[in-house]
A and B are shown apart, each in its own frame.
Chain A
Amino acid sequence: MVEIFGIPSQALFGQLLIGLINGSFYALLSLGLAVIFGMLNIINFSHGAQYMMGAFAAYLILQYSGLGYWPALIIAPIIVGITGIIIERLFLQWLYKLDHLYGLLLTFGLALIFEGVARNYFGSAGLPYTVPESLRGGQNLGFMFLPNYRAWVIAASLVVCFGTWFVIERTRLGAYLRAATENPTLVRAFGINVPRMITLTYGFGVALAALAGVMAAPIYNVSPQMGSELIIVVFAVVVIGGMGSIMGAILTGFGLGIIEGLTKVFWPEASSTVIFVIMAIVLLVRPAGLFGRRA
């Protein structure tokens, strides 16, 4: 058996793969947080709950309509995205004139309610969601075994992340968005419906979280608390990367996932805390974050 640094290569690459998978979810979620924060100036605390809702939506779609993974991958984010739009219209729009702490508080309250409802109806134990037929099995790469589904998750999240980056940084729509982030009043004066743009941005960010949830469903169990601990790690990721740049959020997400995976190999006890420790070090060395502009 091949060994690297005294660790069997099988274990090393296995953990690297898990790291990349976790990194995909960190990237997708921190991307959504960054997009929402850019437009609404709100830290969306319910992001983890909305990720959980995506997974539950996929589960319920399978239960009640028999539609499998692939339709759910489209339908679930749309449904959850629509709930996001409703939330923005019903609640968030009243808070823009208040201190932005209130946005965080309100979405925290929403997260409590969503999680409480999910726990009440489905219990705390996880529900299984099987890997779709077309992605079962895996490839033997010689140095490791790569399950097809995991390869798909990594590829899909890379595509979604860079697609989002492309839309925001390289298209006309993205230019409107970035302009509205800088100066909403001026953009409004040019005849662009900024409030609607804000609503749609929130819906899109929430849909991204739900998409991540659907992709996570076959890997982790579908459970009410699947989002709440993840979102805290994602907050740390966002602090490390800084929310100024979309690309920064993506790179930090994947990078930290890999670091976490490696820590699991070399020092398993530290793997649950390593991202927080890195956050503390970054705060000491580069207070503005790796990719952040000074807020």
Chain B
Amino acid sequence: MERVVDPLAKKPSVLRTQSETIGFVIMVAALAIAPFVTYPLFLMQAMCFALFACAFNLLIGYVGLLSFGHALYFGWASYLSAYSAKAWGFPPELAILTGTATAAICGLVAGSLAIRRQGIYFAMITLALAQMMYFFALQAKFTGGEDGIQAVPRGHLFGIFDLKNEMTMYAVVLVIFLAGFLFIYRIIHSPFGEVLKAIRENEARTRAIGYPVERYKIVAVMLSGLFAGLAGVLYAIQNEFAAPDFVYFITSGDTVIFNVMGGIGTLVGPIVGAGFFQLIRELLSRLFGDQFPYLIPLGVIFIVMIIFLPQGLLGFARRWLNR
């Protein structure tokens, strides 16, 4: 007879299994050593995009909604944090809050609109809404039009940590990235996350059981927008500017590519995908110069992966290991 394990018997820590904890520790250790080995700026950007990809994955992987407008949250959060830091003199912690809250509100509004249509329309609606806010960003006064908001002060976090120091900045990005990752992990494994997965598997049945599916979807979009915004804020602070490019659909497309490459619906997949993408781009520009049209080879890799590895790098690795 099989032994039934009472799930409540042992209070789980944040991470649920031993192998996940080991994996997480390895990731933390690698990221802690990495800045001494390679360029901190490259790593910080990679972490921003990784968090961005994880936020996106919350929707596509666990609710089954393909958003093509995540640049909206990323870009507008970066605008508001940059503006509040520069024009109002907000310290970093308040600028981060302002930007993230903006993204959450955008997510709430965009989500309530986009879920009114089923299926593939969700992608088109989110893309159109993001493009609308891109044009708005080009025209609004405070966003600085084509130039964006430049020379944003990094400031002192909590009045103590000087973010101008590259290593301090790195530590802050690392901590926020890990916190965001664990938070998303928690959401996925919470009862709320289980309902999201139920919606993904069978929306009609979830509704029949009595869950207000629409409300769950809206909250999911909002949370996903919030973390995408957090990534945008980090990106703006470390680069000291916010630009209309961040709201452009290419940015939305990038996070889609990260996820497909890494593996949709796996926790670490988006991180792997974002890292892989950054690495290839960096490699190509090292080998062939800055002007190299890196999107062409990346597009080819992307297409080949959709046809031959629709489960992504991580899904492929897992299947290969289990063989």
A-to-B contact residues, CB < 8 Å = 43, 91, 94-95, 98, 100-102, 104-106, 108-110, 112-113, 115-117, 119-120, 228-229, 232-233, 235-236, 238-239, 269, 272-273, 276-277, 279-280, 283-284, 287-289, 295
Could you say which of B118, B249, B296 contacts A232, with CB atoms under 8 Å apart?
B249
Which 5 residue pairs of A and B lie closest in terms of their CB atoms, listed nearest first? Answer: A276-B132, A113-B299, A112-B299, A236-B128, A287-B116
17 A-B residue pairs with Cβ-Cβ distance under 8 Å, sorted by A, are: A43-B120, A91-B307, A102-B306, A106-B307, A109-B257, A110-B303, A113-B295, A119-B293, A232-B127, A233-B131, A236-B128, A236-B131, A276-B131, A279-B128, A280-B113, A283-B117, A289-B117
Contact (Cβ within 8 A) B123 A120: no
Contact (Cβ within 8 A) A280 B303: no
Contact (Cβ within 8 A) A287 B117: yes
Contact (Cβ within 8 A) A43 B124: yes
Residues of B within 8 A of A120 (CB): 293, 296
The interface residues of chain B, by DSSP majority, are classed as helix
A101 touching B120 in the complex, CB below 8 Å, given contacts A95-B306, A109-B303, A116-B296: yes
B-to-A contact residues, CB < 8 Å = 60, 66, 113-114, 116-121, 123-125, 127-129, 131-132, 135-136, 139, 249, 253, 256-257, 260, 293, 295-296, 298-300, 302-303, 306-307, 310
Interface contact tally, CB-CB below 8 A: 112
A235 touching B127 in the complex, CB below 8 Å, given contacts A284-B116, A287-B116: yes
| Minimum CB–CB distance for B320 against chain A, Å | 20
Supplied contacts A109-B306, A238-B124, 19 more A-B pairs, CB within 8 Å: A95-B307, A101-B66, A105-B260, A105-B306, A109-B257, A110-B303, A112-B253, A113-B295, A116-B293, A116-B296, A228-B249, A232-B128, A235-B124, A239-B117, A276-B128, A276-B131, A283-B114, A287-B117, A295-B121
Could you say which of B125, B129, B296, B302 contacts A117, with CB atoms under 8 Å apart?
B296
A119 vs B250: C-alpha distance in the bound complex, in angstroms?
15
| Minimum CB–CB distance for B140 against chain A, Å | 10
Residues of A within 8 A of B302 (CB): 105, 109, 112
